[in-house]
Structure formats: structure tokens, C-alpha cells
Chain A
Amino acid sequence: MKSEALRRFRRNKVAVASALVIIAFIVAAAFAPLLAPYGPLEQDLANNYAGPSLEHPLGTDDLGRDTLSRLFYGSRVSLGIAFTSVVIGVFVGAVLGLIAAYFGGIVDSVIMRVMDVMLALPGILLGIAIVVVLGNGVINTVIAVAIFSVPTFARLVRGSALAVLQLDYVMASRSIGASGLRIVLGHVVPNSLTPLIVQSTLQLGVAILIASGLSFLGLGVQPPNPEWGAMLSKGRELVRSTPVAAFAPGMAITILVLSFSLVGDGLRDALDPKLKHR
């Protein structure tokens, strides 16, 4: 069954290409010190505001820092924030969703109404509110994006858990005396994995967007740390002299977010073929 899904995914050329782009970014992040021609904070004041050249393929910024190198190092920050926050979001959201679905009644109502309130706020606004309360910095950005992701996953898991919980085999499992935890871990979680994988992939793109957005506004990762959103914000000031300083991080964000979206769509089609041929 797994190989069947893989085969269907492979046939989707766009999704495969997007997956390769994501892998390229991950490689860039992992081997940034080896791939980047300069250090992220290395200044070359004699060569500031430089356009693309052989020494600086994507030019330099006002302090003469190499944009390409900062992009490489920035992908570490962006991907790191995205993966960490989505993992936290999946975990917390899944636990809340399972609790809501399993216990039902008032517990369900309280949890899900809180989630609804969070979903009612636009993502970036919620992120700003959280960062304002917690203060800025990498860790707090991760927390803000994670909190933002929680309601999406809570809803998703609750939905599929509710569907699974009323299936015959869950009843059968209860009839042989299985405990609640065993039912949840043995039946509900495995059956919720497919939508979770798809949603997590899509959410990674959203997380990058929110994290960059916060940094762009100066609320997330602080300079001089290389972060795409912060670089874009800085590049905005230089757009007349060195447009590539704004253009490069903007494209990086766009391409990566788009790739996550396309891979997510491809995964959904591959894992749930019924949806596509409807």
C-alpha cells in the first residue's frame, strides 16, 4: 500500500520537482558552512552595495555581507523554526484533538471553542500578539508559530478521531476490554496519520511564511542573525541601490513555501486517490 502511494506520488512531476527543491534547501541548510563562500556576519565594507559578481553571486548588503552566504545560513533558521514549530504544533494539536474526540461533551466543547477563537484570528496577527507577550527571539518565534499551528491540527485529528471512534472495530476492541489509551494509540492514531502527514507538509510552508513575516516586522529573529524575513526587511531599504538584496530572500521564501504547498498537494493526491478522481 505504501509503495502504491509512492508510485502515484512519483507520477506527479510537479510534486517531485518541488520535493527536490525542498531537499536542496535542506542540504543548503545542513552544509551551510561548507557551501557558503563567506561567513554570515563577515563584512567587506569595501565591497558594500555590490551587485552580482563572481565573488558575490548575489551581491552584498550595506555592510558588505555576502547575500548568498546569508541565504544559506538563513535557510537553517527558517527551516529550523518551521520544522520545530510544526512538530510541536502536531504533537500538542493531536493530543488536544484526541482528548476532545475521546471524552466528548464539555471537554470537547471547551477545547474546540478555544481552538475556534484562535482560528478566527489571522495567523500573522496571532503571531504578533504572542511575540508581543513573550518577547522576540528565535525560541519565542518557534513558540508563536507552534501555537499558531495547534488549532489546525487539533481540528484535523479530532475530526478523523471522531470518525474512527465510531467504527465497528473500535467497538470490537472495547468489547475485548481494551483500555481507552490502547484504543487511541492502536486504532485512532494510525488512522489519522495520512491527513496529518499531508497537513504537516502544508503547514511547514505556512510556518515559514509566518516566521519570516514576524522577522520582517522586526518581531521575530533579530539582526544580525541571518533570517530571510529580516533580510527582506533590510533589503527593502536597499531596493534602489542593490535590488538583489531584497529580491533574493523574497524568492527564497516564495520558492520554499510554494514547494511545500505543492508537495503537500501531491502527497494528498497520492495517499488519498479517492479525493482526486471525485
Chain B
Amino acid sequence: MTKPLLEIQGLTASLATDTGTIYPVSDVSLHIDAGETLAVVGESGSGKSMLAFSIMRLLPRSARFEGGRIVWKDRDLLQTDAESLRRIRGNEIALVFQEAGSALNPVRTVGSQLMEPLRTHLGLSKKDARDRAVELLREVQIPDPETRVSNYPHEMSGGMKQRVLIAMAIACDPELVIADEPTTALDATLQAHILELLGRLKENRNLSLILITHDLSLVKDNADRVAVMYAGRLVEVGPSERILSSPGHPYTAGLWESLPKPRGSEPGKSKLHAMTGTVPHLSHLPPGCAFGDRCPERFDPCDQDVPTLQNVNGDPAHRTACYMNAAALDATTTSV
């Protein structure tokens, strides 16, 4: 087995809030291989964005890492000094932000912002950086890049700004791009274009992609593997088609069922299924499974302990944290 590109082991991050310490990322273990697309899926507040920021070590000041490792190329990012971290950010791992509107400085041209990573990491001269910036804009399919490069963000549409952010992320040829809900702020047609663009860039540049989204429907066409997060924990991880065809966790199943499907694709079902309840507040988590209150399959063990990730049917590629999975039940009973 080849070494994964990025390996997260038992990552826990805490956040000090007015109502006490919460754990938006709790004991998360994940890996991503070179050239693959991993989708991280979950509702708002499930900790998926915090996970993305953790990888970049960009957590807010009130947050702390409580444990775990983030191994990138034989080095633990949690132990890396600020200067080396700065050289990794944007150069080896890059982040595409959710809100294109606010992720660009309104008082500077997109060109000058696009030139920033080029000048920081590649040490290009102003002129070379500008030429590269134009090339990058062309690569993300912005028409008339020579003029657009001197535009201010407010002179661009939302879709174009998102493309600029993608151009910024790929500027220094990173090996891993983390896209934090890159299409949430855009309408449906643009969404498809942006995802297609990300997919093509990934092929052309041979990068790995972590696609963070709350929309499970994007997963099918865009991701090789899926990690489902709930209340800061990983509840299921596995290959996309496996997760969509036979979800191992009731939460994954619920997310999938609550998506609108084309009429007639599922005979006898005309109403959209909606999951009951909302994500519990992280400061009031139940002792057992965090999904317990909303789970249609809840039974005794669910209220006792937090289930751990276990292989589904002995397959190490597909794991869930649910007592419905016999292996998880075995794991608790043996440990007691």
C-alpha cells in the first residue's frame, strides 16, 4: 500500500465559547491519496469547515488543538513552525473559500491579489507575476483575462470571483486543494460549471482535492470517496458509490433520502423526505451517539457510548460509526 498524501490521525480541536468548551473536530482520522477527490459532507455545524481550516492551521484564536496528528509528507503539520507553515500554505496545500464576495479584498484589483502567491512563493518579478496571473485567469476560463486582471472584485460577477479564487488556489501548483463549499454562494448552473472546472484542473494538474459540501448530490459525479461528518465526528467514510448505494450510517441514509430526485425515478415516492430535528449544539451533546435523537433506528446501546468507526462487512475501505454495524457493537462489548 502506498503512503497517503495527507493523513489525519485522531485530530481533536477545541473552541472556547461563551457556553463552555466545544469540540468542533473530535477524534477525526482520515487520509487522502494522491490524485483522488475526497468529499467531506455534513450539515452546517458538523465541523467540516473547521476540519478544512485545521489542515491549513488557520483556526481562530479561540481554538486549540487538543490532540492528533496531521501528517503531510512525513511531517506533522501540528508541530510545524510558522515559517515552514507559511511556505506550505498556498504552495503545497491551497484553500478555495466559500464566499467569493468576501474572500477578495474590495480595495485591490484581482490581479494584484492573484499575484500575491506568485510573488510570495515563486519569487516572480512584478511583470512575470502579472503575465502568470493573466494565464491563470485564462485557465479558469475568465473571458478577456488581459482586461479582467485589472478589475476590482466589485466589477466581477459571483461566478467570476469564485473562478478568481480557484485561480489563486492553483497559482503555485499545489498538490492538494481544499475547496470549502466552493459553490454554496452560486446558483445551480454556475455550480455545475465550477465543479466541472475543478474536476478538469484536478486532471490537468494532477492534484488531490478535498471537496467540502453539505450537498450529497455533488458527491456522485465529483468524488472518489466520501467522509460524512456529524457533530464534529466522522460517522462514515468510504468509496462514493458504496456510500450512495448502501449507506452504513442512518445519517448518511437520511441525507441521501432528503435530496430531491427526478420525478418517477423512485416509484411510489412523491414526497420529499425530511430528517427530523437539527444538529445538536456542540455544548450539549448526549453521552452516546450524537445522532441518537434524530435516528430512526435508535436502540439501547446508542445511548450508552459514542460508537467508534468500524469496518463494514470487514471492508477496511468502508467504515461507519454506528451500532447497526455489528462490528461496532462487538468493539464496545469486548472493551467493557
Q: Spell out A's residues near B (CB within 8 Å).
A: 104, 167-169, 171-179, 182, 186-187, 190-191
Contact = CB atoms under 8 A, between A and B. Distances in A.
Given A104-B61, A171-B97, A176 B103 contact: no
A12 to B, nearest CB: 24
Interface stretch (B87-95, B208-216, B239-247): B87-95
Contacts of A191: 105, 107
A54 to B, nearest CB: 55
Interface residues of B, number: 29
B171 interface: yes
Most buried by B among A172, A176, A187: A176
Interface string B114-129: 0011001100000000
A169 B87 contact: no
A177 B84 CA distance: 10
17 contacts: A167-B102, A169-B102, A169-B103, A169-B113, A172-B95, A173-B116, A174-B58, A175-B94, A176-B90, A176-B171, A177-B86, A177-B87, A177-B88, A177-B120, A179-B120, A186-B116, A190-B105
A232 B10 CA distance: 75
Contact of B116 (A104, A168, A176, A190): A176
Given A176-B168, A177-B91, 16 more contacts: A104-B61, A168-B97, A168-B102, A173-B105, A174-B58, A175-B94, A176-B117, A176-B120, A177-B117, A177-B120, A179-B86, A182-B116, A186-B105, A186-B116, A190-B108, A191-B107
B70 to A, nearest CB: 15
Contacts of B113: 169, 173
B90 A169 contact: no
A191 B105 CA distance: 9
A190 B152 CA distance: 15
Contacts of A172: 95, 97, 103-104, 165, 168
8 A-B pairs with least C-beta separation: A176-B90, A177-B90, A177-B89, A168-B102, A175-B95, A176-B117, A172-B103, A168-B103
A171 B58 contact: yes
Contacts of B104: 169, 172
B33 interface: no
A188 to B, nearest CB: 10
B229 interface: no
B105 A187 contact: yes
Interface of B: 56, 58, 61, 86-91, 94-95, 97, 99, 102-105, 107-108, 113, 116-117, 120-121, 165, 168-169, 171-172
Contacts of A104: 61
Contacts of B58: 171, 174-175
Given A168-B103, A191-B107, A176 B97 contact: no
A168 B98 CA distance: 9
A178 B83 CA distance: 10
B24 to A, nearest CB: 16
B97 A178 contact: no
B120 to A, nearest CB: 6
Nearest to B119: A182
Contacts of A187: 105
B185 to A, nearest CB: 11
Nearest to B169: A176
A108 to B, nearest CB: 11
Given A176-B90, A177-B89, A182 B97 contact: no
Nearest to A194: B107
Contacts of A168: 97, 99, 102-103
B108 A186 contact: yes
A221 B91 CA distance: 57
Nearest to A175: B95
A160 to B, nearest CB: 13
A177 B121 contact: yes
Nearest to B90: A176
A178 B56 contact: no
A235 B104 CA distance: 59
A260 B168 CA distance: 44
Nearest to B118: A176
A187 B108 CA distance: 9
A176 B94 contact: yes
A31 B328 CA distance: 89
A218 to B, nearest CB: 47
Nearest to B107: A190
A104 B60 CA distance: 12
Contacts of B168: 172, 176
Most buried by B among A104, A173, A191: A173
A56 to B, nearest CB: 53
Contacts of B61: 104
A104 B259 CA distance: 44
Contacts of A190: 105, 107-108
Nearest to A166: B60
B107 A176 contact: no
Contacts of B91: 177
A187 B91 CA distance: 20
B57 to A, nearest CB: 9
Nearest to A176: B90
Most buried by A among B97, B103, B104: B103
A32 B281 CA distance: 71
Given A168-B97, A182-B120, A176 B89 contact: yes
B88 to A, nearest CB: 7
Contacts of B95: 172, 175-176
